[in-house]
Amino acid sequence: MLESSHLKNLNDAQKEAVLHSDGPLLIVAGAGSGKTKVLTSRISNLIKKKKAFPNQILAVTFTNKAAREMQYRVSKLLKTEATSLPWLGTFHSICAKLLRKHAKAANLNYNFTIVDTDDQMRLIKNICKAENIDTKQLSPKFILGIIDKWKNKGLYPNEVEINNKDIYEKTSLPLYKIYQQKLIELNSCDFGDLILHTVKILETNKDIREIYTRNFKYILVDEYQDTNFIQNRWLNLLVNEDKNICCVGDDDQSIYSWRGAEIKNFLEFDKVYENTKVIRLEENYRSTQNILNVASSLISNNQNRVGKNLKSTNDEGELIKLNCFKSGKEEAIGISDEIEQNLKKKFSYNNISILVRAIFQTREFEERFLKIGLPYRIIGGTKFYERAEIKDCIAYLRIVFQDKDDLAFERIVNNPKRAIGDSTIKQIHENSKKNIICLEKSSKQLIEMNLIKPKTKIGLSSFLSLLEKWRYDLFIKKINHVKLLQNILDESGYSAMLKNKKDLENENRLENIKELLSAMKEFDNLESFLEHVSLATSIDQDWEGEKINMMTMHAAKGLEFDVVFLPGWEEGLFPHQKSIEEKGQNGLEEERRLAYVGITRAKKVANISFSMNRFYQGDWMDSLASRFIDELPSDYVEKNNLNEQDFIQEDDFEFNQDLEDEDYRSPGWLRYQKRIK
């Protein structure tokens, strides 16, 4: 019996959510409150109580992993592996299933192809070429982003109304029309179409819509706070006359507006569906009470929220530590020392995480960890010196420093594009091998012999001239190595290439390059910097065993760790200046929700920190502590074991053990000394 085997393991609020059967239900599930357990128990209860057969339940998730987990748990609860839930899956997978059945209504055949990102890029590039669109000024990826935004708002090309002052939208709309027509001609659709086509079919075909509203007796939605307009519209169309829709989520963890998520879907649920039952899951099984008190106090400053009061099933735990450092470098030293001296004895590295607001912040931690031999992994990203734009910059510096560096030459000779194709590269290689000379000299020789195509010759000659100019700057004029890279990036067109491509990815790349320029200032010359990079990238960081986790707070959603470090809580960085500039109060509230997500990843220990100065975008900048720090409740926060007066005095900011301190050497320092001897 479900009552005896499962309901006894639920708290009162969870039990109420599981047993509620008819009418709209909104489950406000706080962090670590067991929402997956409630969803699967609810599905099991509906089937056991014969409220619905498995094929009459629509259960929607955001990831295939979540869908598989729910399927497994339901089967386990019902004590049978045979229980199939044919309508449990992601938004895209379920819509694909529906669209196959009714493809003709969308001018497609049932055997339509779903194009991937590469196919989309190729298609839009071909369209841009045919329409004489300069992809250096308007990148295909950016165009596809605009198209996806329109699809997420439920708009076909003929339904889009644009602001004529917006040059990007004005240029993209005709391309959207051609793109969509091409997809139809190819009997294909992209991921956005899966939901858009399905919604349009349901809106315009009452008979088809009634098939599903009759069949789906109950609808359950996971992570409802992350739904966008078109996803929510699709759900609205499938709800039956009994309004048996149950949505589970946490408005305080809505952090994906940049991906199209609309928090108002969650906040206005009870307005869309009359007589909505709201159940709050407020018992947290993850974190200590002190961690929850800090997170709850911080998020209470947001105006647009449903509200809840999280209570821990664990003990009070340690106070949250708030640390101030002189600089970002000192912050990395302080955190690594805390791990070495105190935490590694109590916790495995796998259960320690450093959560940053922006991915460029990992650089100082990576360099510090590599130096002292602390193992780490980057989750949801690439290690700093392995990022493509960083490797490009390093390749430029290497070939300027040493003309025989063929690997560096090959990487950047056509980056950015200089009309130097694969056939030319092959020609250069063959000539190099034949005459036993480096690729650069081989290129010069082929130009002198007039063996390079005219258009290619222009691009290659220009590149070779730039190399000579940069070497003159470095070796004759003796310009600073940081200034050298700035010149290279400007004069090669690399900076312009990134700046002209308007998308989030390129903004991150520019931030990473600025961080690289900051890193270079720590070295006396180009030679020492290149040596440092070589050593940093050669150290084996892929050994088996446990590793400290580094990731952005966005990537950390849904994860949990015993220990969480939250560095870089400074104005402009967190909350991020761009978010506030673009979205005002809504942007600030989303940044605060991100802080809430970061804090609630911690089970036992949470450390927040900021620095007085940060080397950012090539310059030292005085930092202001984040406004979020002022919102932390003092009763649950330990400020470096200092009183309030001490905390604001500059002379007292030497809180953390410096490596150069003669009286103490950390274990990492000792390992480092052994390695360099």
| C-alpha to C-alpha distance for 382 and 371, rounded to whole angstroms | 18
Tokens 């609205």, located at residue: 236
**Selected catalytic residue, list 40, 71, 120, 253:** 253
Cα distances (angstroms) measured from residue 623 to each of 175, 236, 326, 327: 44, 47, 10, 9
Query: Tokens in use for 108?
Result: 């497609």
* Catalytic choice (36, 135, 402, 486): 36
**Given the residues 371, 601, 614, 639, the one annotated as active site:** 601
Catalytic residue selected from 120, 180, 213, 222 = 222
Catalytic residue flag (residue 337): no
387 given a catalytic annotation: no
Query: What six digits make up the tokens of 203?
Result: 């809106």
The yes-or-no answer on residue 22 being catalytic is no
* Residue of 14, 15, 35, 90 marked catalytic: 35
Asked about 35 being catalytic, the answer comes back as: yes
Is-contact 589 303, C-beta < 8 A? yes
Catalytic, 113? Answer no
Q: Rounded distance, CA 182 to CA 334, Å? A: 56
Is 122 one of the catalytic residues?
A: no
- Please count the helices (runs of H) and the strands (runs of E) in the chain: 30, 19
Please tell me which residue in 223, 226, 515, 591 is annotated as part of the active site. Answer: 223
- Residue pair 302/593 in contact (Cβ under 8 Å)? The answer is yes
Other beta carbons within 10 Å of 239: 18
Sequence-separated (6 or more) residues with CB below 8 Å from residue 96: 114, 194
Q: In whole angstroms, what is the distance from residue 65 CA to residue 71 CA?
A: 10
- Which residues does 573 contact at the CB level (< 8 Å), separation at least 6? 357, 358, 361, 614, 616, 623, 626
* Beta carbons of 437 and 445 less than 8 angstroms apart: yes
- The DSSP secondary structure of 137-159, one letter per residue, reads TS-HHHHHHHHHHHHHTT--GGG
- Measured between alpha carbons, how far is 567 from 375 in angstroms, rounded to an integer? 19
Name 302's bridge partners. Answer: none
Which residues are annotated as catalytic? 35-36, 222-223, 253, 601
